[in-house]
Amino acid sequence: MHLNHMWNQLHTRRWITLITIKDVAQLAGVSKATVSRVLNNSGYVNEATRQKVEVVMKEHQYIPSASAVSLSRQETSTIGVLVPEIDNMFYGDMLHGITEVADQKELSLIFFDTQDNGEKEARALRTLSQQRVRGLILAPAVDYSNDAMASNLRKQLNALNIPLVIVDRDSDNMPWDGVFYENYQSSYQAAIELYKAGNRRLGVITGDLKLKIGRDRLEGFRQGVLDCGLNLREEDIFEGDFLTPRAYELSKAMFHSGDWPQAIYTSNNSTSLGFLKATHECGIEIGRDIAVIGNDRIAILDMLGIPFSCVYRDNHEMGRVALRMLLERIENPDRPRNIYMIPYSVQLSGSERITK
């Protein structure tokens, strides 16, 4: 109280030099070591001494410096989180799940948005490494087994040698833990559902096929179509990139061509939106002119009562699981690689069927 006041006087409006452990020690008439023991509840401290120190700490609002603690303990209590586009609801939900667990475990999160850009991802990794984060949750921007940047990024990640959980976007032959989604199976299921609803000519707007997640969704769907005794025509495969604008363009072109599949599978939420935008603009009516099933749920559509069938997973849960898994890895660095597959759910609303 008194000290703070003095400092305020000295450098008004400047960065206030916060009170340090040394100050607390002096004010309480003990050594730094003792204050540290009080702080961490470690070792022997006489009850009276503890009280004395605690009073001083409270009175002066002592807050230990995380940098100093990290430096001397040789570890931080921050977790890195890296996602490709935070303005996609999917990652918002996931991040929410992560923050929930982080809050419980008193961890801080350092956050990066890589904007689907491999170079930004590399930069972010470097920064995270400087920060000496305790662990990392990574939703990669690129396919780590494929992309041109990949080998660099892999090297970087290996060099970091940090507890790591990959979320959402799998790559082949990765040594790291992961929380993924049954991309193949859910997409397979999407085909089945479209078939069961009576559609016989099926199409798909794919995601980015440079990503394994994109290929898996296409191949799962394709296999589903085949197993229904149908075939997936080449011209009914529209190669997208998981983003809205491209899906929109593809869909519009498709409708303008005048010839399209009875039913379409859209590979993620952004793709679905692009598709829906096009249907609206082209005067196409779902349930009359075309049927659709999407990957990813779009909560707003449900609220509005707009029928939109989908296969999806719990994004929120995905975030929670990811951080929990990371913590287990941190606890036990030697345990074998762990992969958790978030199960998919099917939500049928009628949009997968042509009724009119």
Partner DNA sequence: TAAAGCGCTGTAACCGATTCCTTAAAATAC
Partner DNA sequence: GTATTTTAAGGAATCGGTTACAGCGCTTTA
Which residues are near DNA by CB under 7 A? 17-18, 20-22, 29-37, 39-40, 42-49, 62-65, 68-69, 71-74
Q: Which of a second copy, DNA, none interacts with 86 (beta carbon under 5 to 8 A by kind)?
A: a second copy
Cα separation of 304 and 302, whole Å?
5
- By the rule CB under 8 A, 152 interacts with a second copy: no
Q: Which does 31 bind (CB under 5 to 8 A by kind): DNA, a second copy, none?
A: DNA
Q: Long-range CB contacts (< 8 A, 24+ apart) of 160-164? A: 160/125, 160/128, 160/129, 160/136, 162/128, 162/129, 162/133, 162/134, 162/135, 162/136, 163/134, 163/135, 163/136, 163/326, 163/329, 163/330, 163/333, 164/135, 164/136, 164/137, 164/138, 164/326, 164/329
Helix (H) or strand (E) holding 111: strand 108-113
What residues are paired with 312 via a beta bridge? 345
> Which one of DNA, a second copy, none is in contact with 103 (Cβ closer than 5 to 8 A by kind)?
a second copy
What H or E segment, with its residue span, contains residue 90?
helix 89-104
| Residue 108 makes contact with a second copy by CB under 8 A | yes
Question: The tokens of 59 are what?
Answer: 């009175």
CB closer to a second copy, 45 vs 64: 64
Q: Among 37-45, 93-101, 188-196, 207-215, which window interacts with a second copy (CB under 8 A)?
A: 93-101
Nearer to a second copy, 11 or 200 (CB): 11
8 A C-beta contact, residue 337 and residue 175: yes
User: Is residue 113 part of the contact set for a second copy (CB under 8 A)?
Assistant: yes
**273 binding a second copy? (CB under 8 A):** yes
Interaction site with a second copy (CB under 8 A): 4, 13-16, 18, 61, 63-71, 75-76, 78, 81, 85-89, 91-93, 95-96, 99, 103, 106, 108-113, 120, 123, 126-127, 129-132, 159, 161, 244, 273-274, 276-277, 280-281, 298, 300-301, 303-306, 316, 333-334
